A and B are shown apart, each in its own frame.
Chain A
Amino acid sequence: MTRLPLPAVLVASAAMVLLLGLPSLALLIRILRPELWAGLFSPVVIEALRLSLVTTGLSLGLILLFGTPLAYLLARFDFRGRALLDALMDLPLVLPPVVAGVMLLLVVGRRGLLGAPLSALGISIPFTTVAVVLAQLFVAAPLYIRTMKGALRQTPNDLEAAAVTLHASRWRTFWRVTLPLTLPSFVEGCVLSWTRALGEFGATIVVAGSLSGRTQTMPLAIYATLERDLDAALALSAILAAVAFGLLLAFRLTLERRTR
């Protein structure tokens, strides 16, 4: 492999490494004080942790359940308007989250598209835990769909063809050949979308508001705590950052081991 000289590349990358890495280092330095961890077990923090785990778990489940067929559709079928659908499904990724929240309100809000039929059924979504999950789904699902779509496009067709000639049904081929081949992307999609859901703030505060125990997830609790108790906010931030980093690192390491 022809490469540019390492020192030059290192120096040129240094600014970006500092920009992206220094905040994590700063957080690490600030939280290495034991007294800081005292604030960690306040009811608000525990409630936020619990709510974040429950809602992101639910979101991830729904993303897998409904995102996988969509990724398959976009990857394996040619149809009129596919590019349009594809772009539409990516849109939440590039929208500011607050805009995503406003758009969701236009659908499920009381004056939204589905507001009147929903309230006729006695259902009101804004300010509920359902709204939290909805916001997470909206911003996080595209990451999973994108990743899986790419993987499903790239799986070699001859292996699937071989399975079918061996009289495996098409469903069986999908479960036993296609899905296992996409495993690294599957895991990557899960990690990316789950961490995105975990960090979701902008859309959540618009659609769901912020109330401890009902809609105040970790990022919202961090924002609220920041004004009252900086130490607790830092501790919470550290947990969030550590979980996200741990997942990303574990994923990279497994991927490297597999490809080696």
Chain B
Amino acid sequence: MRRQLFIALLSLTLSCIGWASAQTVTVFAASSLGDAFSELADRFEAQSPGRNLVLNFAGSSTLATQLLQGARADVFASADEVQMQRLVAENLVANGPHPFAGNRLTILVPEDSELTDASELAAPGLLLVLAGPEVPAGRYARQLLELLDRRWGGGFATAVLANLVSNEPNVRQAAAKVALGEADAAIVYRTDARGLERVRTVTPPDAEAIAIRYPIARLSEAPEPELAAAFIAFVQSPEGLAVLARHGFAAP
């Protein structure tokens, strides 16, 4: 009885390990790609039975750190070039990076908010959340504030940053704080506002001046290099680009 239990436990463990090592491609993707990449993964898996795609979403800076610390993955899709270059510099990229999508910043506010213009972000007492300064969305948002500061002057960026109540670990967390009604505003990607209820967006001036480009790359230690290349090709195929466009992403 005891031996049987032991064997059962052991084989359970081994079969778990075996299952995980079936033909699986692991994709680390920026959290803003969440919905779009989930759909891309479903379609990619449906193309040929037996292939399995595992997605790991987080802030690109978190993902890059994980990869630099030895996390194994096949593909990295970053929300900016800075995080991708951290991997390129350490020779972790085998092929790429290829830009595959573009995006734009917007201001997310609760549906019942009275905010109608970006200049009101500086109003004293407003609760603003941003992604952290290391996170691409947080870096872009601070660039936008600098541009608006140049446009309006009067210490606009400083006043807005005085309203900052949280540096969130990724852009979706920042958006969630607004959707929950706890924060008054967040600067996020236009795509993040889709699928959220009880929110609306306010388009800031100068948003188009910030070029947001998503690069994708095959990693040099990819356990499944062929499948990784196939997925990257699929993302850039007409079908893949159509999915991205439907989720609000621009062409790169």
| Chain A interfacial positions (CB closer than 8 Å to B) | 105, 109-111, 124, 126-127, 205, 208-212, 214-216, 223-224, 226-228, 230
Contact = CB atoms under 8 A, between A and B. Distances in A.
Contact of A105 (B129, B134, B180): B180
A111 B65 contact: no
Interface string B181-194: 11100000000000
A212 B133 CA distance: 12
Nearest to A215: B166
11 contacts: A105-B180, A109-B181, A111-B181, A209-B129, A209-B168, A209-B177, A210-B166, A215-B166, A216-B167, A227-B61, A227-B134
B119 interface: no
B240 interface: no
Chain A binding site: helix, strand, loop or mixed by DSSP?
loop
Nearest to B128: A127
Given A226-B65, A227-B65, A227-B132, A110 B181 contact: yes
The 8 closest A-B pairs by CB, nearest first: A209-B166, A127-B165, A227-B61, A227-B134, A111-B181, A126-B182, A227-B65, A228-B134
A38 to B, nearest CB: 20
B164 interface: yes
Contacts of B134: 224, 227-228
A223 B181 contact: no
Contacts of B177: 209
Contacts of B169: 205, 210, 223-224
A168 B115 CA distance: 66
Given A111-B181, A211-B165, A226-B65, 6 more contacts: A105-B180, A126-B182, A127-B182, A209-B129, A216-B167, A224-B169
A227 B59 contact: yes
B182 A110 contact: yes
Interface of B: 59, 61-62, 64-65, 69, 127, 129, 132, 134-135, 164-169, 173, 177, 180-183
Contacts of A127: 127, 165-166, 182-183
Nearest to B166: A209
Contact of A224 (B164, B167, B173, B183): B167
Contacts of B165: 127, 209, 211, 214-215
Nearest to B62: A227
A260 to B, nearest CB: 36
A111 B181 CA distance: 7
Contacts of B166: 127, 208-211, 215
Nearest to A108: B182
Given A127-B166, A209-B129, A230 B65 contact: yes
B182 A105 contact: yes
A201 B169 CA distance: 12
Contact of A211 (B61, B69, B167): B167
A61 B165 CA distance: 26
Contacts of A228: 61, 134
A208 B177 CA distance: 10
Nearest to B64: A227
Contacts of B182: 105, 109-110, 126-127
Nearest to A214: B165
B180 A109 contact: yes
A222 B135 CA distance: 15
A29 to B, nearest CB: 15
B164 A211 contact: yes
A107 to B, nearest CB: 12
B65 A210 contact: no
Contacts of A223: 169
A108 B127 CA distance: 16
Nearest to A209: B166
Contacts of B167: 209-212, 216, 224
Nearest to B125: A124
Contacts of B129: 209
B128 to A, nearest CB: 10
A121 to B, nearest CB: 16
A227 B68 CA distance: 10
Interface centre among B64, B132, B167 (most CB of A within 10 A): B167
